[in-house]
A and B are shown apart, each in its own frame.
Chain A
Amino acid sequence: MNTETIKSTEVLAANTERISGSEAVIKCLLAEGVDILYGYPGGAIMPVYDELYKYQDKLHHVLTRHEQGATHAAQGYARISGKVGVAIATSGPGATNLITGIADAQIDSTPMVCITGQVGSHLLGSDAFQETDIVGISTPVTKWNHQITKASQIPEVFAKAFYIAKSGRPGPVLIDITKDAQFEEFDFSYKKCEGIRSYKPVPDVDFEKVQEAANLINNAKMPMIVWGQGVILGEAENELKAVIEKAGIPAAWTILGASAIPTSHPLNIGMVGMHGNYAPNKLTNECDVLIAIGMRFDDRVTGNLATYAKQAKVIHFEIDPAEVDKNVKTDVAVLGDSKESLAHLLPLLQEKSHPDWHQEFKDLYAIEYEKVIKNDLHPTKEGLTMGEVLKEINIQSKGEAAIVTDVGQHQMIACRYAEFNQTKSNITSGGLGTMGFGLPAAIGAKMAAPEREVVSISGDGGYQMTIQELGTIFQQKAAVKVVVLNNDFLGMVRQWQQLFFDKRYASTEMVNPDFVAIAKGYYLNARKVTKREDLKEAVAEMMASKEAYFLEVCVEKEGNVFPMIPTGASVSDIRLE
């Protein structure tokens, strides 16, 4: 281990004690403030589990039903709390099962530490039982990873892992520990890591750039903000709100930025991207200054880059220098932490209101309402829509619930229509689009914030990818409200097949089981709704439940999500039907 720690504080250094590597793992986790971890035991990690047994009053281990569930639960925990999520698994298949969650955390910048057991160091490279090169496998999808073969390395590696996972642009870290290192005894002391010489997590704010940004904004006639998860990760919600309000700038969000500013805020103009709102997508190509804050111009946001915001001066507030000019060429890049940068920006801004410009958003919203939203939320046709389920959840939760979604049509509908009063309330798999994310992530979210209402919304496809985590819900008595919007299809793929593949529904029709019976099999209260008149009361029953509750809503089979920017099309060419 040659990565030099340059700053650290001593937590337990005064009294070193001789303990095993596995006990040291627990002590490191406790020193980092970990209270819950999610995982699955197995041969190569058993010494650590033995210590988890001894420390169970201090550290709560949640047995998930699959290691993928452990990572998503750790992600849900991290996303709602802002703390580092922890997942643990054995070597070989246990470790490889973590990979989907790790990749998801990497692309969505979620702080997570994953711990894997490994075969004894004398067996490394010999194709031993349950040996897999998890450090090699996880390298492209981790922010950092490291294999420990000596117990004495444990404190330093754990300290670095938590520091790296949480600092700067967060991400997942994997620590692989050989079994002999878990058994080995050594003199333990722990120092928290506060700096690594090769790693600068937050670039210094360049005040000239902030001034340049302010000048552009002050001279703009039609400015528009698009914010992303960077605002939430940087806890810059208040700073963003102050900027928006002072400069009177209409502000839209990416899917991961949702909930940073309340849905009801008059300057919150909705979601950008493939299934985002009509006005912010269209007007991206009309604005004169586009201010991107903590977002990375993902292709699902920009559509065709060649026709994206070409008329606008682009300002990019960003913590990660590698994101600047990666997809969209910026005129002013303000590197740094969004909270700090926006705080410096605020006093430089002139008070403005841009009423005519606001009216353009309102006019386009009216078109979207007439063509799409009205039919989604207040349908007159027979079949239930996903939108009206969301509307009912909004009304009954009063916008206070954290909404955890899976991936697909229900996700887009939920992100479009869910109403949020508080930040860190929209937990979904954005960049990776991981079906099966929702249910286990909701468990982690509920356990991290038991005082909050957590509603998991999935489709019938993704739900069945991690349905076994109902067992975790039951065992942990996690009071998650689980909603499945069942259209008996892999709806988003079916929608594409309908629109772009001449309705050839290749392998998208689902022949589904009795979901209520399955939930009841896990001893959950469960109910199924097929008619509009039962929806309100069913949602009320779910929300009133003190325990976990399963609600299946059978929605129309071939409903589509609009608006839609077809792949490769310009944001201007967003379709309403």
Chain B
Amino acid sequence: MSTEEKQLYTVSIYTENNIGLLNRISAIFQRRHINIESINSSVSEIEGVSRFTIVVNLEEKQMKKVIGQIEKQVEVIKAYYHTDDETIYQESCMFKVLSDLLFEERQIQNIIKESNARIVTVNKEFFVIEKSGRKEEIELLYRELKPFGILQFTRSGRISVSKQPMKISEMLEAFNQ
């Protein structure tokens, strides 16, 4: 119906740290059949306040409605949405590779060096590479390592900070007055 374009949005939700809140928030996306591209939950800069970082692909009109329904939840302090341009964001990934390759395939060492990846651990059987960056960088590294055989691969959800301040502390102070 709508002609508006879908695009990636990073949703940042500041919440009380309560059991069950993830369920409440994810249900809002589920009801509207919105696929969550990635989700991350952690502590925030404020003690006792949690922060969800959720990436979704949506039209802005729908994004606004979803934000409204998220903010309506009693234990949500504030929710924001940002485009990629408005945020600094990263993902992290880990590769587990056979140790033999590190010595037999000189190419691997170059790949690691050029991609700014980091070797976390090496033992006789395997070594582990960690890489943080944009999704495309991680995907590139994956493609480069793939031919050598990857024992295990995992990528984290996006974490991001906004370029503009979000002023949660001020908001909480206002609540307390």
Which residue of chain A is the closest to B76 with respect to CB atoms?
A198
Query: Given A4-B48, A145-B20, A164-B74, A326 and B68 touching (CB < 8 A)?
Result: yes
In the complex, chain B residues 11-58 whose Cβ is within 8 Å of any chain A Cβ: 15-20, 23-24, 27, 31, 48
B58 → A minimal CB distance (Å): 15
- How many residue pairs bridge A and B at CB < 8 Å? 62
Q: What is the CA–CA distance of A325 and B172 in the complex, to the nearest angstrom?
A: 27
User: Of A1, A135, A136, A196, which one neighbours B74 at CB under 8 angstroms?
Assistant: A196
Name the interface residues of A196-229: CB closer than 8 Å to any CB of B. Answer: 196-200
Q: Does A140 contact B (CB under 8 A)?
A: yes
Residues of chain A contacted by B19 (CB below 8 angstroms): 147
Contact of A198 among B31, B68, B75 (CB under 8 A): B75
A320 contacts the other chain (CB 8 A):
yes
Q: Are A325 and B64 in contact (CB under 8 A)?
A: yes
**Chain A positions 1-59 with a Cβ under 8 Å from a chain B Cβ:** 1-4, 6
A139 to B26, CA, bound (A): 11
Q: In the assembled complex, which residues on chain A have CB atoms less than 8 Å from the CB atom of B31?
A: 140
Does B175 interact with chain A (Cβ within 8 Å)? yes
Given contacts A3-B74, A4-B48, contact A139 B27 (CB under 8 A): yes
Q: Is the interface of A mostly helix, strand, loop or mixed?
A: mixed
- The tally of residues in B whose CB lies under 8 Å from a CB in A reads 24
Q: Contacts A2-B18, A3-B16; is A326 near B65 (CB within 8 Å)?
A: yes
Measured CB to CB, the nearest residue on chain B to A329 is B61
Asked whether B64 lies within 8 Å of A3 as measured between CB atoms, the reply is no
Contacts of B48 in A (CB 8 A): 2, 4
Interface residues of B in 45-96 (CB under 8 A from A): 48, 64-65, 68-69, 71-72, 74-77
The reply to whether B75 and A136 contact each other, CB–CB distance below 8 Å, is no
- The answer, yes or no, to whether B123 is at the interface (CB within 8 Å) is no
Query: Separation in Å of the A381 CB from the closest CB of chain B?
Result: 44
**A322 contacts B23, C-beta separation under 8 Å:** no
Known interface pairs A3-B18, A3-B75, A197-B77. Does A139 touch B24 (Cβ–Cβ under 8 Å)? yes
Contacts of A143 on B, CB cut-off 8 Å? Answer: 74
- Determine whether the beta carbon of A2 is less than 8 Å from that of B17: yes
- B176 located at the interface, meaning its Cβ lies under 8 Å from any Cβ of chain A in the complex: yes
CB distance from B71 to the nearest CB of A (A): 7
Q: Which of B23, B68, B176 contacts A197 (CB 8 A)?
A: B176
Chain A, residues 309-331, CB within 8 Å of chain B (1/0): the string is 00000000000111111100000
Closest chain B residue, CB of each to CB of A169 = B72
Q: How many residues of A contact B (CB 8 A)?
A: 28
Cβ contact within 8 Å between A321 and B176: no
Q: What is the bound-complex CA distance between A323 and B64, given in angstroms?
A: 11
**A144 in the interface (beta carbon within 8 A):** yes
Contact A139 B23 (CB under 8 A): yes
Q: Give every chain B residue within 8 A of A145 (Cβ-Cβ).
A: 20
Closest residue of chain A to B173 (Cβ to Cβ) is A197
Chain A residue with the shortest CB-CB distance to B77:
A198
The minimal Cβ–Cβ distance linking B109 to chain A, given in whole angstroms, is 47
CB distance from A325 to the nearest CB of B (A): 7
Q: Give the complex CA separation of A291 and B75 in angstroms.
A: 32
* B20 and A135 contact, CB distance less than 8 A: yes
Distance in Å from the Cβ of B51 to the closest Cβ of chain A? 13
Known interface pairs A139-B27, A197-B175; A322-B71 also in contact (CB < 8 Å): yes
In angstroms, Cα B73 to Cα A234, docked, is 20
A320 to B176, CA, bound (A): 22
A146 CA to B18 CA, complexed, in Å: 9
Which residues of the other chain, B, contact A135 by a CB distance below 8 angstroms?
A: 20
In the A-B complex, list the 8 residue pairs whose CB atoms are closest, starting with the nearest.
Answer: A322-B68, A197-B175, A198-B77, A144-B74, A3-B16, A322-B72, A199-B74, A140-B27
New A-B contacts (10) at CB < 8 Å, excluding given A4-B48, A197-B16: A1-B18, A3-B75, A136-B20, A144-B74, A145-B20, A197-B77, A197-B172, A198-B77, A320-B72, A322-B69
Give me the interface of B with A, judged by CB distance under 8 Å: 15-20, 23-24, 27, 31, 48, 64-65, 68-69, 71-72, 74-77, 172, 175-176
| Residues of A bordering B, CB below 8 Å | 1-4, 6, 135-136, 139-140, 143-147, 164, 195-200, 320-326
22 A-B pairs with CB atoms under 8 Å apart are A2-B16, A3-B16, A4-B16, A6-B175, A6-B176, A136-B23, A139-B20, A140-B27, A144-B74, A147-B19, A164-B74, A196-B74, A197-B172, A197-B175, A198-B15, A198-B75, A322-B65, A322-B68, A322-B69, A323-B68, A324-B68, A325-B64
